Structure 1
Amino acid sequence: MRAITYNSYGDINKLQISELNSPKPGINDVIVKVAAISPNPFDIRKLEGGFKVITNVKKFPFIIGCDFSGEVIEVGKNVGAFKVGDKVFGMTEILFGGSGAEEIKVSQKYISLAPSNLELNHAAALPQVSNTSLLALRNIAKLRTGHKLLINGASGGVGSTALQIAKIYEADYVAVTSSRNFDWIKEEFGPSKVIDYTKEDFTETDEKYDVIFDANGNRSFPEVEKILTTNGIYVTTKNNVYTQIDFLKQFTKRRKARVVLSGKTSTSNLDLIRMWVEDGKLKPYIEKSFSFAQFKDAYEHLVKGRTRGKLIINMD
């Protein structure tokens, strides 16, 4: 089978198409014929060696990617919730797995049935960004009705899902974005306020927020602490190993700064995401689709950092 792999850490020029053996399922795994994958910034950090203190326990080559959608073609003997022919979406194990192959092995714990009202390929754009936003807002920030929330990086994959989840939880949410995306964010997501970061520094205000979610990961806790309420919390996606250690120190001192790890998802989280999609409360925003042969173009587009919503790579 074909797979998008890399044999050493570096930039996207390390990516190549390789021929690998098709995987075999463990007793709790399924084999998925992949329809599409969706590039994430986490893929790039892993490619660049941002997690090599952990990933070095595994030998190259690595398969790029984490998000996927596709069809189950084989199941392990202990798999009861899924069967051959099921259309699914989910995530591979984030540090040691990889979704960028024609066939992948994935634990049954990390998949769900794909939303019935969404093109299967488009479902690949949901898992990591939706799971990250859900963990940040529900699990870490304990977002509640009426909470005043600011989302920095509102137009990206994580930001655009966070805006929708904020609406589901009936928060009072403010979006920070660029001039290019200002009108789109205002009209599509209905925040109480949109801040254009090219014209205004959102930290220079008398406003106080219960939650600040830095979906860009480009602001620091000391910069935003002054605009948090007394019991407010700052959650960031800046999640390499070294910043995690630094944030754990800050969390111990102030209990206000937390890192959301893209980390593991679960069937229950993915089931909730699927339900929201089927209820019309959540959808992926896909800026552009690429063919398998254009995989490097997709990652080049991602690295530029101007993506509105998500990208997908169709594997067939």
Structure 2
Amino acid sequence: MTFTSDTFTYKAYTYTSSTSGLKLDDITIKLEKQIDGSFNVPADKILVKIHAAAFNPLDVKLYNLSFWPLNYLLGKRGLGEDYSGKIVAIGEKAQLTTAFRVGDLVSGFYAGFVPHGTFSEYVLVDTTKKAEGELTHAPKNLSLTDASSWPEVYGTIRRMTVGVDLKDKKILVLGGGSSVGRYLIQYLKLEGAKEIYASASSRSEAVVKELGAKGTIDYTKGSILNGALELVKDSEPFDIIYDCVGSNDLFPKIEYLFPKTGGLYATVVGDDGFDQLTFPNFLLILQTVKRSLLSSYNYLPYTYKLHLGSFAPDWIEGGRQLIEEGKLKPFIDSYYKFSEFDKAFAHLAAGKVSGKIILKVEED
């Protein structure tokens, strides 16, 4: 890509608050003048022309939870973390410290949502910042559009499972039909879990079982707790419970679900997958914090883990390899054009999603 000045401007969807709305805006980045008089991106950075970007439930939460004084402190910002595209410029140091070159097709995870996101024509990746520099070559067996669908969700399940012995374990997955749940069930099966059960609606039951679940609890037809108790009534307790959607349904009788020696309850959401900061949701946040603290001091009969923060080391390369080998199957709910961002966001916010919603920044 040839630059003719020390700035480069492109379009991206941005917002300043949940009341201001999301709008298509101009983003301008600074370029550096080279010895030969040409211009290029800064030395440690990579410029990717985005082909597609995938939505995550976090996008709705970040947008809805934007309020004063957070808006004042953060200012204009973007949404979106997953993307795929083509490298169009690379800085001098990045050429030496990475395996990437101009023209490479890539999948990436970009957590630097302030002030940018991936619902954008381009993303400037700083290779010195791990939150931005999670980048790999796009899986060869996926279209470049679908190659945007997997990084965040795979990184999430690796965060939940790193350092955990899964072989020969009996495991319950809450939210088996969610994007995270579907990847998690596949991964648990690959790692040799003995029995996998999941909560899922009748709409997702067949898919969840096909991926490796032995049985399901239909959360639309009654108590998840009663269903879980039935699964241990005349058999072994669960070694691990993974919560992918945010639930506190099991805690009233959780001691009956785990062995007397204790088990692991791991969540990436907490007690509720809230999208608004209401007073009841605030109380659930306090419950999650309380439970985490009690577990850290061994005051609970089981281990409770709230998984937030960074992903496991080298997760993105491992994910690409599993997808290329056909061991992990991505799920796509729907595709929208770049100009249909509002429709795509409304679809996500409605919560009736089976797989990833993808925004096609470029048409195939």
Q: TM-score, normalised by structure 2?
A: 0.77
C-alpha change, 1:82 and 1:246, in structure 2 (3 Å) is farther
Q: Give 1:190 deviation, angstroms.
A: 2.8
Q: For 1:235-258, what per-residue CA distance to the aligned partner results, in whole angstroms no more than 9, with x for missing partners?
A: 112169956644432332336111
What does residue 120 of structure 2 align with?
101
Q: Is the radius of gyration larger for structure 1 or structure 2?
A: 2
C-alpha change, 1:146 and 1:26, in structure 2 (3 Å) is farther
Report the residue type matching 2:168 in the other structure: G
C-alpha change, 1:224 and 1:234, in structure 2 (3 Å) is farther
Distance in 2 (alpha carbons) for counterparts of 1:6 and 1:15: 5
Report the residue type matching 1:214 in the other structure: D
Please, which runs of 5 or more residues in structure 1 have no aligned partner?
A: none
Stretch of structure 1 that moved more, 124-133 or 266-275: 266-275
Matching of residue 291 in structure 1 with residue 320 in structure 2? no
Please, which runs of 5 or more residues in structure 2 have no aligned partner?
A: 1-9, 32-40, 128-132, 275-281
Secondary structure (helix, strand or coil) at the match of 2:248 reads coil
Q: For 1:205-249, what per-residue CA distance to the aligned partner results, in whole angstroms no more than 9, with x for missing partners?
A: 151211111111133562463212333111112169956644432
What does residue 34 of structure 2 align with?
none
Distance in 2 (alpha carbons) for counterparts of 1:51 and 1:310: 27
Q: For 1:80-123, what per-residue CA distance to the aligned partner results, in whole angstroms no more than 9, with x for missing partners?
A: 32111111111112553511110111233311111111111101
Stretch of structure 1 that moved more, 171-180 or 223-232: 223-232
C-alpha change, 1:23 and 1:231, in structure 2 (3 Å) is farther
Report the residue type matching 1:271 in the other structure: E
Q: How many residues align?
A: 309
Secondary structure (helix, strand or coil) at the match of 1:21 reads strand
Distance in 1 (alpha carbons) for counterparts of 2:246 and 2:358: 22
Matching of residue 160 in structure 1 with residue 204 in structure 2? no
Do the aligned partners of 1:174 and 1:191 also contact (CA within 8 Å) in 2? yes
Report the residue type matching 1:228 in the other structure: F
C-alpha change, 1:23 and 1:84, in structure 2 (3 Å) is farther
Instruction: Work out which of the residue numbers 203, 224, 229 in structure 2 matches 1:180.
Output: 203
Query: Which residues of 2 match residues 64-79 of structure 1 at below 5 A?
Result: 64-79=79-94
Secondary structure (helix, strand or coil) at the match of 2:357 reads strand
Q: For 1:4-51, what per-residue CA distance to the aligned partner results, in whole angstroms no more than 9, with x for missing partners?
A: 1102234xx711111222465443321111111111111111112269
Distance in 2 (alpha carbons) for counterparts of 1:278 and 1:105: 26
Matching of residue 37 in structure 1 with residue 53 in structure 2? yes
What does residue 235 of structure 1 align with?
266
Matching of residue 6 in structure 1 with residue 24 in structure 2? no
C-alpha change, 1:189 and 1:270, in structure 2 (3 Å) is same
Stretch of structure 1 that moved more, 59-68 or 240-249: 240-249
Instruction: Work out which of the residue numbers 327, 349, 356 in structure 2 matches 1:303.
Output: 349
Q: TM-score, normalised by structure 1?
A: 0.88
Report the residue type matching 1:16 in the other structure: K
Root mean square deviation of aligned Cα: 2.5
Matching of residue 195 in structure 1 with residue 217 in structure 2? yes
Q: Give 1:283 deviation, angstroms.
A: 1.9
What does residue 167 of structure 2 align with?
145
Secondary structure (helix, strand or coil) at the match of 2:245 reads coil
Report the residue type matching 2:245 in the other structure: N
Do the aligned partners of 1:75 and 1:83 also contact (CA within 8 Å) in 2? yes
**Percent identity of equivalent pairs:** 27
